[in-house]
Amino acid sequence: MYERTFGTDWRTISDEEGIRRMYALGVSTALGSPNPGEFERIRRQASTAYGRSVLQLSFEEGKQRVARNRGEYDTKQDLWDALVDEETTPATTGRADVGMRTPTDKQGVPEAVSRIDVLDAQSDEFARLRLPDFLRRE
């Protein structure tokens, strides 16, 4: 399934593409079609331990999605189609658990493995000194 959808003839990939592919590899592995060679190739693309851990989290997320949704689909192909589309972003349908797959950022990366806003620089110099909004009383 994975090879047919994504192919394995790449030389280098972006971080976002690595995360998408690792998610799809997790889904594929949980469906009984592991690809350890591709897993290691993608993992070697990460230059830091943090990058490798994000890739591993994405892979595990794919496996967990299959475990949670396995009973809702008749075939492995149906489950693959529901969890992985062309960009390997989680699919959106009317089912309750499937609807939980929609939180993604603008590049299609699941929010659970994307960079959090707290790490981004503040535009206001004094914003770093103020209490965060969630700690203020209203």
Q: What are residue 94's phi and psi, to 5 degrees?
A: -80, -5
Domain boundaries, the chain: 2-135
Tens-digit pLDDT profile for residues 58-91: 999 999 999 988 888 888 888 888 888 754 443 3
Burial profile 104-113: b = 16 or more Cβ within 10 angstroms, e = fewer: beeebbbeeb
The predicted model scores a pTM of: 0.62
Q: Which residue has the higher pLDDT, 111 or 65?
A: 65
